[in-house]
Amino acid sequence: MRHLLSVADLSRDDIERICDRAASFSEVAAREIKKVPALRGRTVLNLFYEASTRTRSSFELAAKRLSADVVNFAASGSSVEKGESLKDTVLTLSAHRPDAIVIRTPWAGAAELVSTWTPAAIVNAGDGKHEHPTQALLDVYTLRSRLGSLEGRSIWIVGDVAHSRVARSNVMAFQTMGAHVTVCGPPTLLPRDIETLGCEVRYTLDDLRDADVVYALRMQHERMDDAFVPTLREYAAVYQVDARRLAPRQVLMHPGPVNRGVELSGEVVDSPQSVILDQVQAGVVVRMAVLYEVLAGARAGHLAPEPQLA
């Protein structure tokens, strides 16, 4: 795999392979010395145009555990604030010959565009409201660990789907893995024609009991300015996943950071059904697998060899 730009580019086999490799890396994470030489001498550049704590640190940890060198470049406080264009920034940083660029921007398609400007492998860490493929992969990995397989499972994605790159990537990834996906949220926060992705659309949580997995999205406070919902109070009343609505057999997921008391009640966040912290842990090993996938000998189009784990 040359780049990771979109879940739409991934087959079920691709996703299985990345998850399998992530599983082999998870054994490394349990060791006292959490480092393998798999990407020694490679350079990974983190290029972040948006604030990000967990994704960026997770990529940084992943690269370091594979012994790659890591450079972090944040747009704030940089030449970007002096008006440098994305292309000029990428060309400049590309002159340092990074092997991979992990990029997050607020613009759909930016990761793919950047891949046309640099010989480095590009990993999309979020492009606007378009996609967040590594989040989808770590979510599949987490569910595989918990449920064995996603085949035939019912997964509900609840909340602000319109502004969520996580929702778009996950609908595709979960379906690719054989799950049945329902998106649910206020009609003002579900994009028109979203059902053309193959998911079902619901406006209430009335049938939430049908779900095997409940995936709550972050309700972003800034959406309130555009009055997509009348109040957060009404949103919580209709869409909050709480102990009353969540059954003991169901798995609860959230991409973080959680607004306790808005999309999730505090009690379900800390409940045994919640795998939110497993998702965070999965983030590192899945990103290790992704970096390994795009960097280790996959240039010629064939699969990467098995990594050295010692």
Partner 1 sequence: MPEGPVVRAPAPPATLLIRGARVLDPRRALDGAHDVLIRDGVIAEIGAAGTVVAPADAEVVPGEGRHLFPAFVDPHVHLRTPGQEHKEDLETGTRAAAAGGYGCVVAMPNTDPVVDSAAVFRSLRDAAARDARIPVGFMAAITRGQAGRELTEMAELRALGALGFTDDGKPVVSAGVLRKALQYQRLAGGVLALHEEDPSLSGRGVMHEGPLSARLGVAGIPSVSESTMVARDAALAGYEGPVARVHMQHLSCRESVEAVAFAKERGWGVTAEVTPHHLTMTDEAVATLDTSRKMNPPLRSEDDRRALVDGLRSGVIDCIATDHAPHARDEKEVPFEQAPMGTTGLETAFAAVYTDLVVPGVLGLALLVDRLTSGGALFGLPVPAIEVGATANVTLVDLEQEWMVGEGGYESRSQNCCFGGRTLRGAVLLTVAAGSPAWRARAFSVVGA
CB of 88 to partner 1, least distance (A): 9
Q: Which of 60, 99, 131, 263 binds partner 1 (CB under 8 A)?
A: 131
**Bridge partners (DSSP) listed for residue 4:** 123
The Cβ of residue 80 has, within 10 Å, a number of other Cβ atoms equal to 17
CB of 211 to partner 1, least distance (A): 22
Residues 174-233 that bind partner 1 (CB under 8 A): 191-194, 196-197
CB of 212 to partner 1, least distance (A): 25
- The residues near 10 (Cβ < 8 Å, ≥ 6 apart) are 133, 173, 176
Peptide bond into 255 cis (omega under 30): no
Residue 16 binds to partner 1 (criterion: CB under 8 A): no
Q: What whole-number distance in Å separates Cα of residue 126 and Cα of residue 160?
A: 16
Number of helices (H) and strands (E) in the chain: give both, helices first.
Answer: 9, 9
Query: Which one, 121 or 199, has the nearer CB to partner 1?
Result: 199
The Cβ of residue 163 has, within 10 Å, a number of other Cβ atoms equal to 20
Q: Which of 34, 35, 40, 87 binds partner 1 (CB under 8 A)?
A: 87
Q: Which two tokens stand for residue 258?
A: 């959680």
Q: Which of 72, 74, 128, 256 binds partner 1 (CB under 8 A)?
A: 128
Query: Which one, 161 or 214, has the nearer CB to partner 1?
Result: 161
Residue 165 binds to partner 1 (criterion: CB under 8 A): yes
Which conformational region is residue 101 in: left (phi greater than 0), alpha (psi within -120 to 50 degrees), or beta? beta
Contact 103, 110 (CB under 8 A): yes
- Applying CB under 8 A, the span of 17-25, 128-136, 174-182, 270-278 interacting with partner 1 comes to 128-136
Residue 287 binds to partner 1 (criterion: CB under 8 A): no
Residues in the interface with partner 1 (CB under 8 A) total 24
CB of 14 to partner 1, least distance (A): 19
Contact 36, 65 (CB under 8 A): yes
Q: Which residue has tokens 């959406």?
A: 223
x-or-dash string of contact with partner 1, 102-121, rule CB under 8 A: ---xxxxxx-xx--------
Query: Which one, 118 or 265, has the nearer CB to partner 1?
Result: 118
Contact 175, 198 (CB under 8 A): yes
Which residues of the chain form contacts with partner 1 (CB under 8 A)? Answer: 85-87, 105-110, 112-113, 127-131, 165, 168, 191-194, 196-197
